[in-house]
Amino acid sequence: MILPLVLGGFILMWVYKDFDFTKAEQVLFHEMNYWWMLISLVFGVFSHIFRGWRWKQTLEPLDAHPKSSNCVNAIFISYAANLVLPRVGEVSRCSILSKYDGVSFSKSLGTVVTERMIDSIMVLGITGTTLLLQLGIFKRFFAQTGTNLDSIGSIFTSPEFYIIIVCIVGVFILLYYLMRALSFFEKVKGIVLNVWEGIISLKHVKNIPLFILYTLLIWFSYFMQFYLTFFCFDFSSNLSLIAGLVLFAAGSVAVVVPTPNGAGPWHFAVISMMVLYGVNVTDAGIFALIVHGIQTFLVILLGIYGLAVLPFTNKKQSV
């Protein structure tokens, strides 16, 4: 349980080891445009709402009909729970629907697995598109991190390369524990079949166009939440839409590493890519620190809201 915190903390310490935090404080309280940040956060809220609505769609083929508000609030809570322990949110949101709407925990867990598969496909699609559009930038990134295939000998002298290795190891450790958890569940009679039923529920979704629309809106909201933050700061306001897509793709891949809200790997990826677009490393560090901090604060607030509202919107069920 402590490994994600240690991993994220280690990478953050390395990224900000020589950082002047007083400058970040100056930008945060005196120079940042909060209106753009507020607009970006609206997109952040809607990304969760669309995800909750889409989740309800995948549950309907399982003869589960939870309240839309419960699905959305469960999403709010799950993302906040992931700050404590990555991926525990998936379990918590299934537990919430089981408690308030009587939805089978194992079946709903299967729909979450399907959802994560779709998210992975979206990340791969976005990353592939940005690679094609900005191949030169990615080549420079790999060269900067010591992974230039033309200079293999320099790999082991690059600190950034070892950060990437640590991130990859963290992902494999997460997969190891997930496999152990699955092997435990397999011992429980019927649980695997229920999970599988939830996984394949997508093929029985009634309104596929609506499902696709929700998926596109989720990722559009994610992108806009990130891209609009460029306009919060003078040093990033001139970055192009394509630059935003590249940084967004890099950050989306980085959050696969099991740390709270991607803390550490996300900062490393965004700072590294932003520098390649001409932003100095100090300003890039300020951007990553403030944007990630405020977005994380939003996740916490939404989680608290979900926890506070659920008992009141489900009074009959809790009686």
Higher pLDDT, 274 or 162: 274
Lowest mean pLDDT among 112-116, 224-228, 300-304: 112-116
Return d(Cα 224, Cα 120) in angstroms, integer.
19
* Greater model confidence, 1 or 302: 302
Query: Nearest-CA neighbor of 52 among 217, 261, 253?
Result: 217
Nearest Cα to Cα of residue 80 among 259, 296, 291: 296
CA distances from 25 to 57, 134, 236 (A): 44, 33, 17
Question: Quick one: pLDDT at residue 74?
Answer: 95
CA–CA separation, 267 and 249 (whole Å): 13
Residue 13 has pLDDT above 90, yes or no: no
Residue 132 has pLDDT above 80, yes or no: no
Assess contact for 84 and 260: CB atoms under 8 A: yes
Once rounded to an integer, what is the mean pLDDT over residues 185-198?
49
Q: Is 48 domain-assigned?
A: yes
Q: Is 138 domain-assigned?
A: yes
Residue 308 belongs to what domain range? 3-12+21-312
The confidence score (pLDDT) of residue 155 equals: 40
- Is residue 225 domain-resident? yes
Q: Is residue 319 part of a domain?
A: no
Q: What are phi and psi of 58, to 5 degrees?
A: -75, -20
The model scores a pTM over 0.85: no
Nearest C-alpha neighbor of 161 from the set 173, 149, 172, 176? 149
Tell me the percentage of the chain whose pLDDT exceeds 70: 75
- 158 alpha-carbon distance from chain centroid: 27
Residue 34 has pLDDT above 50, yes or no: yes
User: Does the pLDDT of residue 245 top 70, yes or no?
Assistant: yes
Structural contact between residues 229 and 43, judged by C-beta atoms closer than 8 angstroms: no
Domain-located, residue 186? yes
Query: What value does the mean pLDDT take over residues 266-275?
Result: 88
CA geometry: angle 309, 311, 313, nearest 5 deg: 65
Asked if residue 317 belongs to a domain, the reply is: no
Predicted confidence (pLDDT) per residue in 158-170, tens digit: 555 555 555 566 6
The pLDDT of residue 147 is 46
Number of domains in the chain: 1
Asked if residue 268 is part of any domain, the answer here is yes
- Inside any domain, residue 318: no
